[in-house]
Amino acid sequence: MKRILIVLGLLAPALVLAYFTLQPKADTFVSVPLFHFYIVTFTTFSAAVVALMLGLALGDEARPRHVLASAAFAAMGSIFFTHGLATPNALIDHFHPAVDWSAWLTLFVGGALFAIAALDAPTGPSKLPIRLVVYFTVAGVLAYLAVAAFAPQWLEQITAQVEPWHRNSIFAVSLGLWLLAAFHLWRLSRASRNRVDGVLAFVAFWLATATVSMHRFEAWRLGWWAYHIILLAGFLLTVIVLAIEYEQARQFRLVRYYLAASLILTALLALIASALFTQFSYNTLVGEIENSARNSAANLSSEVAEELPDILTAADLRALSDRSGVRALFESRAAGLPIKSILVYDVDGVASYASEAEWLGVNVEDRAAFSQALAGETVSRIRPPDDPPATYHPSTAVYVLEAYAPVRPGAAPDGQPIGVVIIVQEAPELGRAILNARFTGLVTAAITMSLLFAALLSVVGRADRIITARTEELSTAYTNLRRAEAMRDNLTDMIVHDLRSPLTAIAASIELLPRFLNTESRSRVIGSAQAANRRMTTLIDDLLAVSKIEVGELKPNRQNMLLQPLLRERLEAYGAQATHEEKTLTLTCSPGLSGNIDAPLIGRVLDNLLGNAFKYTTRNGKIHVLASADNNNGRVIISVRDDGEGIPDEYKPRIFDKYVQAPNNNGASLRKGTGLGLTFCRLVVESHGGQILVKDAPGGGSEFSFWLPK
């Protein structure tokens, strides 16, 4: 069923054209130039803008043939736009060769680009020179537009010299290109299994049918109108499928969407404003012209009745042309007035007098206006250039005005009308005024809307930059969040591991304790349990302390005190470990050195720094604590120096961040723990108004130093 629908859709335009060919009477003549102008101008401008924006949005992810298809419709829309502008009696009052050439070249250029797109490889790298093709297309389109605008006589000369061979040649080549593109794109779709390729093949066959509609059907016939519909349908189908196919690949840019939407809206509003302004000008001018014509017709009727008082009945009026001096009378009354023709009709609507004798005896054409005049009303009617009165043939295509006035008996000016006089005037100024009004309205509206568009564009551009910046910030924040989540997971693993180890040690010690209550091993077992408990307590304290300091719940209780006792106490706590691990632990501090500190917090800072030093200092290593005064800046400086592996330079700026742990030479973490110890140190030192730093120690290793205000 699906294949049947596809085949029917594919052949539908061709079947319609075949029907019009076999049934010529059904191929109705529909001449609506203004409708053609407004619809073609708006739709082609919109198509060019949308296709261009779509081509820019596709990006590098799109296949070259798909980019070329979008470029083809952008080029076709740009060229066909001039076809709409050149519509006769829309903006210009004469035939312009671009109305034909633009239509021919639209399908020719589109067929060429589709044929080139069909040369693309089904999959893998493409060898199509996309940029070169697009540049040549842009140059060619601009060159043609320049010729159409500034040198249309070149197109006229070509037409005059080689007609009809040039049109037949363009038709044959265009049809061949579209059919070739359809065939190759169909083969591509079978190889690539890409629905866009299948749709492009479908559209290419449609546009081959549109080529036949354009070149082989008379203008303004339904068969000729068909190619406009096929072009629009092919464009919409291609754009929709491309947009759906590359929905995920395209990037949202507010400026790009604003450009497309606002340019289309600007064109629509400009055309609407032009139409409204033109209609207003037309109504105003027509009102003045019709009023003048009605007055002229009424005056002429009155003057004739006064000059011919013996014409009292309809029968007298029927014999009007037989009276001597009547023609001279009408000619004298029309002298100096823009009256081109005068006709007098009897009550039956038969001409009893006509400026041109050939119209004597003919029936009135507009029975409705005639009946109104016969009822005593003076009426007028504007005839467009393509519909002049049957009794008058202007030398050029101009608007024609007919005014109907009742003819009354000469002796009874207020009596019942016995006939109708019709005057015919040309209104060439009306056609020019309409064109000028339409052009002026279009230009004025376009300029006004363009200024508004430019003003809003700056606002939208600013908004787009803000959105882009916020999007990048959100992307960065999301990346950081994922990194933090990974750190959190690692921290959870470390906490579980680090808590399990001391808990296991405590449990084992408790289990062994009854066995060694009265033995020499009791102290060792109890000491092991206490050490494990201390490690667990320190871990938990670090977690809680960092959290409290960050939210401002843990503030230092500072007191001025001597530093040497505090430092010596912390070193003595690590004395046994230093002896056991055969490491040298030394202190350099002046006995009188003091500082304004929170002793418990600074003590824990020293514990973290000393604990880290012991963790990665090898056996027989050296750890040195140095405290000194910086009297010039009113500071106390405390350093913990070791001769371990040191810290890589790239980690030094981040070593005090949460969860950051520098690796050793093998890539494993140097500091086994949560990665919060140094963060705790930084937060405590900064809460004292100081700063903590790390640098390479002389001779190798690391030196952590922090200064505190005295």
DSSP state of 125: -
Tens digits of residue pLDDT in 376-426:
999 999 988 888 898 888 888 888 999 999 998 875 777 889 999 999 999
Beta bridge partners of 693: 705
Higher-pLDDT residue of 108 and 528 is 108
Query: Would you state the pLDDT for residue 580?
Result: 84
Contact indicator for 597, 561 with CB cutoff of 8 Å: yes
Q: Which of 342, 320, 347, 321 is nearest to 331 (CA)?
A: 342
Contact indicator for 58, 67 with CB cutoff of 8 Å: yes
For the chain, count helices (H), then strands (E): 19, 12
> Sorting pLDDT into bands at 50, 70 and 90, what band is 184?
very high
Query: Would you state the pLDDT for residue 602?
Result: 92
Integer angstrom CA distances of residue 429 from 283, 285, 287, 436: 14, 9, 13, 10
Max avg pLDDT among 128-137, 178-187, 259-268: 178-187
Integer angstrom CA distances of residue 582 from 174, 576, 644, 671: 93, 10, 14, 20
* CATH 3.30.565.10 matches 555-709: yes
Tens digits of residue pLDDT in 494-518:
665 556 556 666 666 566 666 655 5
Higher-pLDDT residue of 131 and 538 is 131
Query: Would you state the pLDDT for residue 674?
Result: 60
Distance CA 141, CA 163 (A): 23
Query: Would you state the pLDDT for residue 146?
Result: 95
The letter for the amino acid at 430 is L
Give long-range contacts, CB 8 A cutoff, 24+ apart: 306-312.
306/410, 308/410, 309/410, 309/411, 310/410, 311/409, 311/410, 311/418, 312/409, 312/410, 312/411, 312/412, 312/418
Buried b (16+ CB within 10 A) or exposed e, 134-155: beebeeebeebbebbeeeeeeb
Beta bridge partners of 424: 341, 402
Please report the beta strands in 265-305, taking only residues with DSSP state E, as ranges in sequence order.
none
Distance CA 511, CA 502 (A): 14
Distance CA 157, CA 101 (A): 12
Supply φ then ψ for residue 552, to 5 degrees: 80, 15
Query: Would you state the pLDDT for residue 45?
Result: 83
Query: Would you state the pLDDT for residue 515?
Result: 62
Give me the mean pLDDT over the 662-687 stretch: 71
Higher-pLDDT residue of 321 and 563 is 563
Query: Would you state the pLDDT for residue 502?
Result: 62
The letter for the amino acid at 187 is R
Give me the mean pLDDT over the 115-143 stretch: 87
Question: How crowded is the C-beta side of 103, counted as CA atoms within 13 Å?
Answer: 25
Query: Would you state the pLDDT for residue 114?
Result: 94
| In the predicted structure, residue 56 carries a pLDDT above the cut 80 | no
Please report the beta strands in 330-451, taking only residues with DSSP state E, as ranges in sequence order.
339-346, 351-354, 379-383, 399-407, 419-427
| In the predicted structure, residue 707 carries a pLDDT above the cut 80 | yes
Question: How crowded is the C-beta side of 277, counted as CA atoms within 13 Å?
Answer: 19
> Sorting pLDDT into bands at 50, 70 and 90, what band is 169?
very high
Query: Would you state the pLDDT for residue 636?
Result: 95
The fold of the 292-431 domain, in CATH, is Beta-Lactamase (3.30.450)
| In the predicted structure, residue 493 carries a pLDDT above the cut 60 | no
Tens digits of residue pLDDT in 324-338:
888 888 888 888 888
Q: What SS3 state is found at 421? A: strand
For the segment(s) 32-251, the CATH number from 3.50.4, 1.20.1070, 1.10.3470, 2.40.128 is 1.20.1070
Query: Would you state the pLDDT for residue 668?
Result: 54
| In the predicted structure, residue 253 carries a pLDDT above the cut 90 | no
- Rounded percentage of the chain residues whose pLDDT exceeds 90: 36
The letter for the amino acid at 139 is A
Within 8 A by CB and 6+ apart from 297, the residues are 378, 380, 403, 404, 405, 421, 422, 423
Supply φ then ψ for residue 166, to 5 degrees: -65, -40
Query: Would you state the pLDDT for residue 276?
Result: 84
Within 8 A by CB and 6+ apart from 463, the residues are 254
Query: Would you state the pLDDT for residue 519?
Result: 60
Query: Would you state the pLDDT for residue 435?
Result: 80
Beta bridge partners of 702: 696
- Rounded percentage of the chain residues whose pLDDT exceeds 70: 84
| In the predicted structure, residue 539 carries a pLDDT above the cut 80 | no
Query: Would you state the pLDDT for residue 79?
Result: 94
Helix-helix angle 222-245:64-85, to 10 degrees:
140
Higher-pLDDT residue of 539 and 563 is 563
Higher-pLDDT residue of 693 and 465 is 693
Give me the mean pLDDT over the 685-708 stretch: 91
Look up tokens 């061949």; give the residue: 176
Within 8 A by CB and 6+ apart from 446, the residues are 266, 270
Q: What SS3 state is found at 249? A: coil
Distance CA 165, CA 398 (A): 33
Average of per-residue pLDDT values in the chain: 84
Higher-pLDDT residue of 512 and 684 is 684
**Domains of the chain by residue range:** 32-251, 292-431, 555-709
Beta bridge partners of 707: 637, 691
DSSP state of 252: P
Query: Would you state the pLDDT for residue 16?
Result: 94
Contact indicator for 72, 418 with CB cutoff of 8 Å: no
Tens digits of residue pLDDT in 267-276:
778 888 888 8
Q: What SS3 state is found at 594? A: strand
Instruction: List the 622-630 sheet strands across, edge first.
Output: 584-589, 622-630, 635-642, 702-709, 691-696
| In the predicted structure, residue 545 carries a pLDDT above the cut 90 | no
Tens digits of residue pLDDT in 134-145:
999 999 999 999
Query: Would you state the pLDDT for residue 506?
Result: 63
Tens digits of residue pLDDT in 40-50:
888 888 888 87
> Sorting pLDDT into bands at 50, 70 and 90, what band is 39?
confident
User: Which H helix or E strand runs over 702?
Assistant: strand 702-709
Query: Would you state the pLDDT for residue 505?
Result: 60
Three-state helix/strand/coil letters over 686-697: HHCCCEEEEEEC
Query: Would you state the pLDDT for residue 522?
Result: 62
Q: What angle do CA 578, 597, 634 make, to 5 degrees?
A: 105
Q: Which of 358, 333, 324 is nearest to 421 (CA)?
A: 333
Give me the mean pLDDT over the 548-567 stretch: 82
> Sorting pLDDT into bands at 50, 70 and 90, what band is 192?
confident
